[in-house]
Amino acid sequence: MRIHRIYNNNVVLACEDSGDNVVMIGRGLAFGKKRGDPVDPDRVEQRFVPENQGEDHLTALLSDIPADVLSVATELETMAREHLQSDISHSFILPLADHINYALVRARDGLRIEYPLSVEVGQLYPKEVAFGKKAIRVINERFDSDLPEDEATPLALHLVNSQFATADLVKTFKMTEVFAQIFEIISSAYGYQVNQSHLSVARFVTHLRYLFVRAEQGKATRAQDAAFPAVQDAVRRGYPRAYDCAHKVSLLLQMHMDQELTEDEHTYLTMHIARLATDLWGESSSAHHAS
């Protein structure tokens, strides 16, 4: 097995004899090495096959994620399999590591994010949230950090998404078609083309997949519609363009999912669109109302 690409001294992309790519993690694994050199198996501590990940996307992710964070994410993936006793896509590792990395950065900067769907997620996916809380304890202990228990919500959503990634092709194609229409709506609202290779788009798609999971399983909690009225009002006033855009996206999703979105989901969708616009184009979503 030989090194195909070096991300840092501790993380490499190697090519197996079968031609498959595999991410390998180990202290000093790539030190003094170059592309084409054989991998020292004694230095390999962890490995995983990056499913459905193009090499450019892999490079963008792995170049930003410290090896110790990637290592913890790999451990948590194993823990999730044991916790749920179900099939989980290996594609779970990279978005999980990406989220953990930015959560640690936010914690160091004293920033905290509110997750409006936390109550609903806890009701819909208690096992996944239980895993998320356990994962937070592992992360805090490993990095001597103080991530709040609220972070269990997005970790649970990543886990939900990883299970949905094993769905049949019909559902996958349906999602792909709907996502393309959603990006057309967003492009029209903001007057820019959406660069679908951008990392922020991948994060946005993760949230959209969660909505499909909820609809697919027929789970809805109408009583939670008014769970966060203050947050909903603040988002509506602060991000009018994103809010109007989210309304159009919501109608599209309802048409394809045959299930109405909750107010919390509409609010959360607005926040994701606002963040996407800022990340892609530097747009302040509160600057203009949609026409």
Can you name the residues that pair with 23 across neighbouring β-strands? 13, 48
Range of the domain at 141: 51-166
Identify the CATH number of the domain in which residue 176 sits: 1.10.1790.10
pLDDT at position 71: 87
Assess whether 206 and 230 both reside in one domain.
Answer: yes
Domain boundary among 166, 191, 208: 166
**Quick one: residue 19, left, alpha or beta (phi over 0 = left, psi -120 to 50 = alpha)?**
left
pTM summary value: 0.57
Residue 289 included in any domain: no
For 198-225, the DSSP string reads: SHHHHHHHHHHHHHHHHHHTT---GGGG
Q: Domain end: 149, 166, 183, which one?
A: 166
Task: Going residue by residue through the chain, which has 291 residues, state the pLDDT in tens, using 9 for 90 and above.
Answer: 888 888 888 888 888 777 778 888 888 888 888 888 888 888 888 777 776 566 777 777 777 888 899 889 988 988 998 888 777 776 778 888 989 998 999 888 888 877 766 776 776 678 889 999 999 999 999 999 999 999 998 898 888 777 765 444 456 557 667 888 999 999 999 999 888 778 788 778 877 877 776 666 665 444 344 445 777 788 888 899 999 999 999 899 888 877 778 887 888 889 889 999 998 988 654 444 443
63 and 120 belong to one structural domain: yes
Q: Does 290 map to a domain?
A: no
C-alpha torsion angle, residues 176, 250, 280, 52 (rounded to 10): -20
Residues 6+ apart with CB under 8 A from 141: none
213 occurs within a structural domain? yes
Determine the pLDDT at residue 289. 42
Indicate whether 287 belongs to any domain: no
Decide if 228 contacts 183 (C-beta within 8 A).
no
Token pair recorded at residue 38: 């054989």
Q: Which of 119, 151, 166 marks a domain boundary? A: 166
Give the pLDDT score at 221. Answer: 44
Assigned domain for 291 exists: no
**Residue 245 backbone dihedrals phi, psi, to 5 degrees:** -65, -45
Q: Tell me, what CATH number does 28's domain have? A: 2.30.24.10
Cα angle 152, 215, 234; round to 5: 60
288 in a domain, yes or no? no
- Per the structure, the count of domains in the chain is 3
174 plus 162 within the same structural domain? no
- 15 and 65, same structural domain? no
Domain shared by 133 and 179, yes or no: no
In a domain, residue 255? The reply is yes
Residues making up the chain, counted from first to last? 291
